[in-house]
Structure 1
Amino acid sequence: MYKPLTTMPLLFLAASAFAQKQATTEKDSLQQKHLGEVVVSANRRPVTLDHVPSSVTILSKKTLDNNMAVTTDVTDILAREVPGMAPGAQTNSNVGQGLRGRSVLVMIDGIPQSSPLRNGEVDLRSIDPAVLERVEVLKGATAIYGNGATGGLINYITANPTGDKPLSGKTSVNMTGGLVGLKNSVGGRFGQMLQGKSGKWEYMASGVYEQTGEYKDANGELVGPNYSLGETETWNGYAKAGYHINSRQKLQLMYNFFRSQQNSNYTLVNGDIAKGIPATGVLGKTAGTPTGSKGNHNVHLVYQADSLIGATSLTADAYFESRDDIFYVSFGRFEGGDGQSHTLDKKKGLRLMLNSPLLNRGSFSGNISYGADLLNDITSQPLVDGRVWVPEMNMLNYAPFAETQFTFWDNIILKAGVRVENVGVKVKDYTTLQLTSGGTVVSPAIAVKGGDLNYTAKLFNAGIRYNRLPLFMPYFSFSQGFSVSDVGLALRDSKVNDIRKINTEAVLVNNYELGFVTEHKGLRFELSSFVSTSKLGADMIFDPNTGLFNVSRTPERIYGFEAAVSYSVLKNLDLSATYSYLEGKADTAKTGGSYNVYLNGRRIAPPKITGTVAYRPLKDLEVRIQYLGVQGRDRFAKNAKGVYNGNEGAVKAYNLFNFAASYKLNPKTMFTLGVENLFNEDYFPARSQWFMQPGFYAKGRGASFNLGIAITY
């Protein structure tokens, strides 16, 4: 039997975070599957969820579809569905939307979309959710796919062909718009999918196009256009083909293209934070190139063979990723005139993994997974006009790994593994760009000698889970994560003439988790707690004297807990709720234990509450109410100017409700209606509040609708 090929087998179970699974079935009933029935591949080797002694949240196809009836913004979907995920800001940038206070590694079928070398924080919007089968989220530091996942990883699993017909498909059409200030807010979406199976072949092809109208706030006023998803054009092309060589071997090829750019008819009008006046826009041509993802290409080839010598299985894959993400124009900041930067990133990778049984004697069984990953990542951040801001960084990463898993008496699961990272980064000689603020030079141009940066790290993980009693299934894990920690940011802000003098030391994170799961009939409850420490941080600290953000490399300690409950009250009524709490401090004096300064809003999100009521009054009708409550957070004092420093603004609480309904007219036709911000809450998203940047001090979207029809055949 073939294992799912959507991700590579288990490289090294991310010894990671505690927490929580919210997987729903693909049946009409929304009752959750038992843990032993849910197969996940976020571990790279597909296993059932009750064999994972760490935190995993699964967003099933049904969960994605329910959310897409309201919005296709995957950053908003993740914020509502994943405990520990910071709230989004309805923009094409995910600045500050980390996982448990640290960076998250985003992947598509195991292909890294994030670039730790120069983290532009735009990686969450890498693919359209319509082509996904599910999303797997591992929370807590992990090294399962290499460097960058100090807070966890998000793996977008693309869809596979279903059914046995040589040709079947689905066509969907949606109309969107604001319920307050309808003028110019109407947009649309069209999707077409075809799939089939014939003999040893199977295929799927999909195309999605979406154009949004203007985003309006609760008062019908234009939402500030800086990175707004209003007036945005999105394309996604997807294809996958598989060939069953024989009963034991399969070959699969996937390609995905994603582009999402804003073409606004407005120029930005900065907000006034002190007076509570939001950023907005006035009619006029936007300067520079449209912001957003100009193009994200992913190619993935996978070969899998089962039942080789000694019942060993083999998975080998190769991938290529290329992306170009464009940022807004900075006026009066750069030497030589205004500038607009973009991150260019190309990755090529090879992976090989073998899995062999170790023993299978009665109540004892075990296996070992072993292999190696090879990754070449070339990243830079030039200005669109060709000036060099961040020079090209050429990274070669080689990492062998091994991990064992044992099961005792069917109830005790024990895992332990090691991964060895060997990273080399080559940088040529370059000259930094002179930066100014208010006409004053705050960072002079410096000629910097290039060279090689080398990193090595041995990363360990271990975890245990006990499933004997459904009312109390505890687990504990220890895991380590590793990241080269935004080398590009350090290089572009260099104050010295040699890269060897720049503090580019990698971040090593230790993550400890303790939690338990309770299951009884239609009830499921999970409570998890964690502590995450690192001797070297990467916090963005605002300097009010220069107007620039600098990286603070001080020891950090982050801790928190999450609770999640779901209950099938009746066959046609399901309830669920979550609560997430997070806190973090830095040891600025580097005393080795005195964590004296709070980490800012860019790192630590305020407490978050979510809730969902799903009701099916008729067999073919389902209605859902979804709640998101972002609580307040106020940790910092105002500066001498009477305002908060950047990233330190106080967050005032807000409460949002979404409504979604779906009606199946017949087995092939489905109507959906979604209302975002049902009660038209007038609010500023958390990021708008803590960021303290006038251009990003924008309100959230007011009440808006999404009306759709989908036809399958």
Structure 2
Amino acid sequence: MHSRLHALAWASVCLFGGAAVRAEPAAPAAPLPTEVPADGRQSLEQVVVTATRGAKALEKIPGAVSVISAAEIEVQGLVSEDPSALLAVQIPGYAPARQKLSNFGEGLRGRNALLLLDGIPQTNPLRLGGREGYFADPMIVSRIEVVSGASAAQGLGATGGIINTLTRRPTQPGTRQTVEMRYGSQLHGDSDSWKTGYMVEHKSDFDVLAYVGVRNQDIGVDGAGRPLATESLHQAADGFLKIGKDFGAQRVQLMVNRFQADGFDDRVDVPGNRATGQPTTSAPGTLPYDAPRNEVRSASLEWTHADLAQGAASVQLYKQDFTANYSGGVIATFQDASLAPVGTLVDQSEIKADKWGLRASWVRPDLGTPGLELTLGADYLNDESQQRLTQTGRVWVPPMTYRSLAPFAQLEYERGPFTLRGGLRDERSRLQVDDFRTLAYYGNQSVQGGERTASKLVKSLGGVWRFGSSGWSSFVAYSEGFGSPDVGLILRAVNTPGRSVNTLVDLQPILIDNRELGIAWRGAKGSVSASVYRSHSDLGSQLVVSNGIGSVQRVPITVRGFEISGEWRPSADWHFNGSYALTRGRTASAAGGNLDLDLGARSQGPDKLVLGARWVPAPAWSVQWTQSVYFSRDANEGKFSGKTALDEHFKGYTVADLAVSWDSPWGRLGAGLENLFNRSYLTYYAQANYSGTADDYYAGRGRTVTLSWRRSF
């Protein structure tokens, strides 16, 4: 603990003078042996478009940008296909995975991340229900680009960073088919899982990639053999199609994806006991409401031109429809004496969010002088979100329409070892809400609808200095982000008469400034990078829960952190990597007050150490070991919000995973062991959540064996 506090103190000293940080790519799981370059080194010329809106090598981007490759995704998939588990291992500042259908509480550097699929927003900032993390099968993913820290490069919602999942496209001429089958078990009843996927790729004068996959997972058990709780994925299916055609320097591409995930309809939760450490479990039973479900449909039509007015142009029209059906029951908030006696009414909620938008950009290199690059573009977004109660047809959150238009410009100049970049983005938004009435729990208040507008010129500035041929580089960066509070949560909780959307102060946007400073070294046999950062918002957004009911407080928030990652390749057969993240967030107990509270587990994860080792005993074999250490955390001891105690306590835990793959003559065979030593533990958010109850005291998954086979022909 002393060393962690020392690192934090060092970070604070660096940031006091206005400096800032960067993290090079987080210590990744090593690629499969067939994808490792002959010299054992990873290429520095990986390109990203998430942070820059144009292709750039990682080493030339002034910011905390990293890329998770398809090989790294596949290695993690041998153990678990939970997307949050992958991010927790690969990204230092990402909070521990909840291991549930919901990703609620999985923040990035103490704030929310904007999730994208091929640039299509998957996050629903107007009504953030924590169910947005499941939207695609890992089989269709080519890589994941991550920007840690507030950013406006992709628009609204990236207060903690951007996580852009990019889908595959055919690369080899001809037709290629791939079949994948998986089977997993914990050697207990109701713990089996299986998955089947089929992909076909074709490339000639046009290219097409199609995929269909289905997955089934039983409830599973924890390390002590107890059934897990039901807030987890039971069944999932994905259908994906991408068609593209090149016309000289131009390309037209259509992508369609439909992903559905269902919870359990034949099991009910058995409450746990926080005082005795007994976790929430489950048992066979019949639900008095519909099973939880997620359905996400994403589509985009994209046109690119590699040489338009001596620049590269891109225009994307996209559509995304999201529906999430949550668990229900006899919930206090849903009771209404006019419908049924209080304490007997069963209901459940559903969030619907439909988006469409247009993204356009043009990048012109060598503008007037070598090394000077200009990027111009504009983004438009139309988001319509609402939340209703499905069993009684009541409106809980009224329909909300959000529209934004954001032109942007960026200049970059590169000369020798220096790269300097600065940008401006003019965010102009409009929120419209009709008149509505709150639920009986809030007093059936009549709320006058209205319109809120906001305008913000969002800035970014940064530079990279590469120290000649020594392998060292450093960067400094300042970036601003533009977010929205959970508008739906604010509106549905109005409990006083005479309120109007036009006068609700809490609807003001969230403005973040992120300052970073980092240094990195890359050599023939290894690399290391270290960074410090400070993220601040004068009017942040915090959810406070009292008696099971959440309300939003608009208070200042400051997050400071330190991250370090590295890798060492002593030989072609061995690869070691590791990362460590320290995060310290502070907020205020009242608007405009001093930073007198620790940031809670809904936003901030614990300090985290991830270690990994890969061994290649033979050219076709690979063995990957990963160990994740989550350190204990005690926050807000003796602090209250009204009569609600805000104490958070996390004991910490360590889990290890093992993955083995063999490129056999019959296809790629794999075996994974999740929680290798069958550690019995309670997950981070379940332990630390101060408002947790006997119904959400969740244990982590016990040892799980997964066998897989993938064959391409």
TM-score (norm 1): 0.91
- Counterpart residue identity of residue 109, structure 1: D
- Residue 632 (structure 2) aligns with: 632
Query: CA distance change for structure 1 residues 138 and 17 in 2, over 3 Å: closer, same or farther?
Result: farther
User: Which runs of 5 or more structure 1 residues have no equivalent in the other structure?
Assistant: 1-14, 436-442
- Residue 48 (structure 1) aligns with: 57
- In structure 1, C-alpha distance between the alignment counterparts of 2:559 and 2:616, rounded to whole Å: 41
Please show how residues 642-681 of structure 1 align to structure 2 within 5 Å.
645=645, 648-666=647-665, 669-681=667-679
- Residue 440 (structure 1) aligns with: none
- Residue 204 (structure 1) aligns with: 209
Task: Report deviation, 1:589.
Answer: 5.2
SS in 2 for 1:185: coil
SS in 2 for 1:491: helix
Are 1:527 and 2:527 counterparts?
no
- Residue 153 (structure 1) aligns with: 162
- Residue 598 (structure 1) aligns with: 598
Structure 2 residue aligned with 1:190, among 185, 196, 203? Answer: 196
Task: Report deviation, 1:547.
Answer: 3.0
Task: Report deviation, 1:29.
Answer: 5.7
Structure 2 residue aligned with 1:99, among 90, 99, 108? Answer: 108
SS in 2 for 1:367: strand
Q: Contact conserved, 1:16 with 1:54, CA < 8 A, in 2?
A: no
- In structure 1, C-alpha distance between the alignment counterparts of 2:134 and 2:500, rounded to whole Å: 35
- Residue 6 (structure 1) aligns with: none
Task: Report deviation, 1:332.
Answer: 3.5
- In structure 2, C-alpha distance between the alignment counterparts of 1:196 and 1:121, rounded to whole Å: 36
Q: Residue deviations 1:170-221, cap 9 Å, x none?
A: 1011111114xx22211210010001112x2111000110001221011211
CA-based RMSD of the aligned residues comes to 2.0
SS in 1 for 2:66: strand
- Counterpart residue identity of residue 278, structure 1: P
Please show how residues 431-446 of structure 1 align to structure 2 within 5 Å.
431-435=437-441, 443-446=442-445
Please show how residues 165-244 of structure 1 align to structure 2 within 5 Å.
165=174, 167-179=175-187, 182-198=188-204, 200-225=205-230, 227-229=231-233, 232-244=234-246
Please show how residues 72-471 of structure 1 align to structure 2 within 5 Å.
72-165=81-174, 167-179=175-187, 182-198=188-204, 200-225=205-230, 227-229=231-233, 232-245=234-247, 247-293=248-294, 295-309=295-309, 311-333=310-332, 334=334, 335=336, 336=339, 337-359=345-367, 361=369, 364-385=370-391, 386-409=393-416, 411-435=417-441, 443-469=442-468, 470-471=470-471
- Counterpart residue identity of residue 676, structure 2: L
Query: CA distance change for structure 1 residues 644 and 472 in 2, over 3 Å: closer, same or farther?
Result: farther
Percentage of pairs with the same residue: 27
SS in 2 for 1:696: coil
Q: Contact conserved, 2:263 with 2:291, CA < 8 A, in 1?
A: yes
SS in 2 for 1:64: helix
- In structure 2, C-alpha distance between the alignment counterparts of 1:127 and 1:195, rounded to whole Å: 18
- Residue 509 (structure 1) aligns with: 512
Query: CA distance change for structure 1 residues 34 and 52 in 2, over 3 Å: closer, same or farther?
Result: farther
- Residue 342 (structure 2) aligns with: none
Task: Report deviation, 1:508.
Answer: 0.2
- Counterpart residue identity of residue 516, structure 2: E
Query: CA distance change for structure 1 residues 638 and 519 in 2, over 3 Å: closer, same or farther?
Result: same
- In structure 1, C-alpha distance between the alignment counterparts of 2:380 and 2:624, rounded to whole Å: 45
Are 1:19 and 2:23 counterparts?
yes
Task: Report deviation, 1:33.
Answer: 4.9
Task: Report deviation, 1:708.
Answer: 0.9
Q: Residue deviations 1:421-464, cap 9 Å, x none?
A: 111011000001122xxxxxxx3221100011111111000110
SS in 1 for 2:635: coil
- In structure 2, C-alpha distance between the alignment counterparts of 1:223 and 1:50, rounded to whole Å: 44
- In structure 2, C-alpha distance between the alignment counterparts of 1:509 and 1:298, rounded to whole Å: 28
SS in 1 for 2:356: strand
- Counterpart residue identity of residue 350, structure 2: H
Task: Report deviation, 1:396.
Answer: 1.0
- In structure 2, C-alpha distance between the alignment counterparts of 1:135 and 1:689, rounded to whole Å: 30
Q: Contact conserved, 2:428 with 2:456, CA < 8 A, in 1?
A: yes
Are 1:575 and 2:580 counterparts?
no
- In structure 1, C-alpha distance between the alignment counterparts of 2:555 and 2:21, rounded to whole Å: 23
- In structure 1, C-alpha distance between the alignment counterparts of 2:688 and 2:116, rounded to whole Å: 28
Query: CA distance change for structure 1 residues 259 and 591 in 2, over 3 Å: closer, same or farther?
Result: closer
SS in 2 for 1:618: coil
- In structure 2, C-alpha distance between the alignment counterparts of 1:139 and 1:515, rounded to whole Å: 13
Q: Contact conserved, 1:127 with 1:236, CA < 8 A, in 2?
A: yes
User: Which runs of 5 or more structure 2 residues have no equivalent in the other structure?
Assistant: 1-18, 340-344
- Residue 564 (structure 1) aligns with: 565
- Counterpart residue identity of residue 51, structure 1: K
- Residue 609 (structure 1) aligns with: 609
- In structure 1, C-alpha distance between the alignment counterparts of 2:633 and 2:386, rounded to whole Å: 35
Q: Residue deviations 1:378-409, cap 9 Å, x none?
A: 00111113210000001111110000111012
Task: Report deviation, 1:358.
Answer: 4.5
- In structure 1, C-alpha distance between the alignment counterparts of 2:695 and 2:592, rounded to whole Å: 38
Q: Contact conserved, 2:50 with 2:154, CA < 8 A, in 1?
A: no
- In structure 2, C-alpha distance between the alignment counterparts of 1:80 and 1:680, rounded to whole Å: 18
- In structure 1, C-alpha distance between the alignment counterparts of 2:366 and 2:640, rounded to whole Å: 65
Task: Report deviation, 1:26.
Answer: 6.9
Q: Contact conserved, 2:199 with 2:212, CA < 8 A, in 1?
A: yes
Task: Report deviation, 1:356.
Answer: 1.8
- In structure 2, C-alpha distance between the alignment counterparts of 1:96 and 1:147, rounded to whole Å: 19
Q: Residue deviations 1:49-84, cap 9 Å, x none?
A: 111110112110000000111111111111111110
Q: Residue deviations 1:121-179, cap 9 Å, x none?
A: 111111111110011110000001111000001000001112111x2111011111114
- Counterpart residue identity of residue 399, structure 2: E
- In structure 1, C-alpha distance between the alignment counterparts of 2:323 and 2:148, rounded to whole Å: 27
- Residue 491 (structure 1) aligns with: 491
Please show how residues 681-692 of structure 1 align to structure 2 within 5 Å.
681-691=679-689, 692=692
Q: Residue deviations 1:457-486, cap 9 Å, x none?
A: 110001100112444311010000011211
- In structure 2, C-alpha distance between the alignment counterparts of 1:360 and 1:17, rounded to whole Å: 32
- Residue 10 (structure 2) aligns with: none
- In structure 2, C-alpha distance between the alignment counterparts of 1:125 and 1:174, rounded to whole Å: 19
Task: Report deviation, 1:319.
Answer: 0.5
Q: Contact conserved, 1:18 with 1:476, CA < 8 A, in 2?
A: yes
Q: Contact conserved, 1:99 with 1:139, CA < 8 A, in 2?
A: yes
SS in 1 for 2:649: coil
Aligned residues: 673
Are 1:70 and 2:76 counterparts?
no
- Residue 549 (structure 2) aligns with: 548
- Counterpart residue identity of residue 340, structure 1: Q
- Residue 15 (structure 2) aligns with: none
Task: Report deviation, 1:501.
Answer: 2.9
- In structure 1, C-alpha distance between the alignment counterparts of 2:36 and 2:701, rounded to whole Å: 29
Q: Contact conserved, 1:16 with 1:142, CA < 8 A, in 2?
A: no
- In structure 1, C-alpha distance between the alignment counterparts of 2:61 and 2:67, rounded to whole Å: 13
- Counterpart residue identity of residue 83, structure 1: P
Q: Contact conserved, 1:177 with 1:213, CA < 8 A, in 2?
A: no
SS in 1 for 2:71: helix
Q: Contact conserved, 2:207 with 2:243, CA < 8 A, in 1?
A: yes
